[in-house]
Structure 1
Amino acid sequence: MTISPFDHPILSGLLGDEPLAHLFSARAEIDAMLRFEATLAEAERQEGVIPADAAEAIVALLATFSPDVPALRAGVARDGVVVPALVAELRAKLPETCRPHLHFGATSQDVIDTGLALRLKSACAILLERLATVSQSLALLEARDGAVEVMAHTRMQAAIRVPAARKIGSWRAPLERHAERLERARQAVEILHFGGAAGTLDKLGAKGPAVARHMAAALGLSLVDHVRHSERDGIAELASVLSLITGSLGKMGQDVALAAQSEIGEIVLSSGGGSSAMPHKKNPVAAETLVTLARFNATLLAGMHQSLVHENERSGAAWTLEWMLLPQMVVATGAALVKAGDLVDGISFRPLER
């Protein structure tokens, strides 16, 4: 059973995005956390923090490990995070002499936040590729139909005749700016989170920075000068960019839906949704969906800004709120870009009558 429209067995046909949704699946999250633990063990071996045989045993176990998901669920109910139960299960499968060396010097937030960073890195790459695709489709539409004369509307009233390029450009230019914004925002989220209990790497002593450097390089993440457990501005900035992307796509969808109205007819849809009662209709489903997803992300963005309020060095409440909201925003943005590409490829401008 699911209550999310993004992976609902029926509604996901309209709103789903399997490649991005997969990045937020339990399997993908666990795989990312196991990658963190394996990288930690190897980095600590290189710096002589843990014995080589212990690191080898840990890495070998993690390569084939499959967790007891019901046990993890019970652990989350008890601890509020999955890592204590996950680490306990892993330690139980290790030789007794190796158990203290697993997860040494790390804390739950290191594992979860770095696992998220790894998955957001993949998500941002997908979103940037799709942004480029939609921008290119709009450029092709402008090259084909840009000279077609259409009516501009201000405050929902007919204004003056303009070339279709005027409208198409107002759809494309923001997306190109958003691609630049997303490139900047991803730099603040694709980082290693490694600070230990209270962000000081106290258990590693002088070897902490070197272990962190090894880990960042191995994971392909940036190394920041201090851990950002309670500094969530980077995550909130990414959420803001996601809302900007869907907002601009929603503007395009709204314009298309208005121009495609039967009595307006400035835009012709090559296909559309059917009606159970009126077979003549060609409903602008993709355009309407863009408006919905824009409003959805705008609503969730307020919650992401609420999650900036992390008390002291770590917050259970604000952190959990982030888990609830950010995956939906990423998937909504991905779905909107897919819908936008389909929409642009299926419209044409019809010249005004003289």
Structure 2
Amino acid sequence: MSSSAFTHPFLSALLGDDETAGFFSVEADIAAMLGFERALANAEAAAGLVPVAAAERIGEVCTTFVPDMSALRAGTAKDGVVVPEFVRQLRSAVGKELESYVHFGATSQDVIDTGLMLRLQQVCRMFLGRLSGLDEGFERLQDQIGSHRMMGRTRMQAAMPISVEDRLRAWREPLQRHRQRLEQFAAEGFPVQLGGAVGNLDKLRDKGPVIRLAVASELGLADEPQWQSQRDRVAEFAGLLSLITGSLGKLGQDVALLAQSGGEIELSGGGGSSAMAHKQNPVGAEVLVSLARFNATQVSGLHHSLVHEQERSGAAWTLEWLILPQMVMAAGAALRIATELLTNIRSLGSQIHNS
């Protein structure tokens, strides 16, 4: 049984998201690391720092390389990071004649952080697509029921009638702003990491910046000076995730309250009760609230990881590994559930006659 609700055998059907989980699979992780090593070798060969034959051999091996997972596990337990054992195996596959050119001038954090940026970039694209789909769902509801009337409530008390359009705007507009922020982040917020042992590209000498640019270009990442102890980009992305799930949580809370009031909303596909057959519980709405609160709690941990002492921190770095994938999973699940929830709204504002 999994210790994470996002991958639990049955809880994952409620709280997980298979498409998002794919970006954090071991296969995706290894593919990203191999992509970095291949791009690094190509860039160094183009700069005349390693033989072209070495880059070709490394690229060939990276295409088919399958690591020994049990050895990776043991190596990670010993070294605190998977890369030393990963590189040892890759060098062995490349062969003794050219093995010294594998991973030349790089360090473990270059591999891990660049791999993370590659996968988060793909996550970002997917989330942008889901946010666009949500906006289309709001537009559809606006066309269908936007002119309907419903009771507006302040501080949980009936106040004055509003239109359904008013409530839809409160749900929709924050998500439109989050999509714009995410688009800006996608354009410049996913940089390559290449700094070497202490972040100064010492082994690459004066060719370091050119090689870094070439690696970034091949991988489709931004070219930025090494940032291994500057974790604000990671924390900023986590903040965007929390904003998205928080706004979706507001949607969920409102829908749950509308269902509680009775007569104000009609949902299809409500959850059943083991004891009360007449009930249709607003399960999706409730889960959106839970996921919002989960990410609001987790984002503080990412801010703790900003304290990345000196040139590299093992503790702060490991904290990111614990928290960030869970936050991404929560956001992916929330976007999936919110899309389903909008589809399941059959009517809204039915207790007040339409104008």
TM-score (norm 2): 0.97
Q: Does 1:62 align with 2:79?
A: no
Q: Which residue of 2 aligns with 1:39?
A: 39
d(CA) in 1 for partners of 2:5, 2:189: 26
Q: Deviations over 1:246-305 (max 9, x none)?
A: 0000001000010112x4321111220011111111100010010000001001001011
d(CA) in 2 for partners of 1:160, 1:21: 44
Q: Which residue of 1 aligns with 2:232?
A: 233
d(CA) in 2 for partners of 1:333, 1:260: 24
d(CA) in 2 for partners of 1:220, 1:186: 11
CA shift for structure 1 position 185: 2.8
- One-letter code aligned to 1:309: V
Q: Does 1:284 align with 2:282?
A: yes
Cα separation, partners in 2 of 1:188 and 1:231, compared to 1, 3 Å: farther
- Conserved 8 A contact 1:188-1:235: no
Q: Per the alignment, in what secondary structure is the counterpart of residue 93 of structure 1?
A: helix
d(CA) in 2 for partners of 1:208, 1:271: 57
Q: Which residue of 2 aligns with 1:198?
A: 198
Q: Which residue of 2 aligns with 1:269?
A: 267
Q: Per the alignment, in what secondary structure is the counterpart of residue 326 of structure 1?
A: helix
- One-letter code aligned to 1:125: R
Q: Counterparts in 2 of 1:1-354, with a 5 A limit?
A: 1-187=1-187, 189-224=189-224, 226-261=225-260, 263-347=261-345, 348-353=347-352
d(CA) in 1 for partners of 2:186, 2:93: 36
CA shift for structure 1 position 188: 5.0
- One-letter code aligned to 2:292: A
- Conserved 8 A contact 2:263-2:351: no
- Conserved 8 A contact 2:213-2:223: yes
CA shift for structure 1 position 345: 1.0
d(CA) in 2 for partners of 1:110, 1:84: 12
The alignment of Structure 1 onto Structure 2 pairs a total of residues equal to 352
TM-score (norm 1): 0.97
Q: Per the alignment, in what secondary structure is the counterpart of residue 160 of structure 2?
A: strand
Q: Deviations over 1:294-347 (max 9, x none)?
A: 001001001011011100011000000001111111111011011001111111
Gaps of 5+ in 1: none
Q: Per the alignment, in what secondary structure is the counterpart of residue 94 of structure 2?
A: coil
Q: Per the alignment, in what secondary structure is the counterpart of residue 5 of structure 1?
A: coil
d(CA) in 2 for partners of 1:43, 1:186: 24
The RMSD of aligned alpha carbons is: 1.1
Q: Deviations over 1:87-124 (max 9, x none)?
A: 11111222212111100000100000000000001000
CA shift for structure 1 position 187: 4.2
- One-letter code aligned to 2:323: L
- One-letter code aligned to 1:132: S
d(CA) in 2 for partners of 1:51, 1:129: 42
- Conserved 8 A contact 1:185-1:234: no
Q: Which moved more, 1:72-81 or 1:181-190?
A: 181-190
d(CA) in 2 for partners of 1:232, 1:55: 31
- Conserved 8 A contact 1:185-1:237: no
- Conserved 8 A contact 1:2-1:8: yes
CA shift for structure 1 position 19: 1.0
Runs of 4+ deviating beyond 4 Å: none
d(CA) in 2 for partners of 1:37, 1:222: 17
- Conserved 8 A contact 2:191-2:222: yes
- Conserved 8 A contact 1:120-1:189: no
Q: Deviations over 1:16-58 (max 9, x none)?
A: 1111111011111011001100111111111110111211211
Q: Deviations over 1:139-182 (max 9, x none)?
A: 11012111111001100000000111111110000000000111
Q: Deviations over 1:211-232 (max 9, x none)?
A: 11111111000101x2110111
- Conserved 8 A contact 1:81-1:108: yes
Q: Per the alignment, in what secondary structure is the counterpart of residue 292 of structure 1?
A: helix
CA shift for structure 1 position 60: 1.1
Q: Which moved more, 1:50-59 or 1:245-254?
A: 50-59
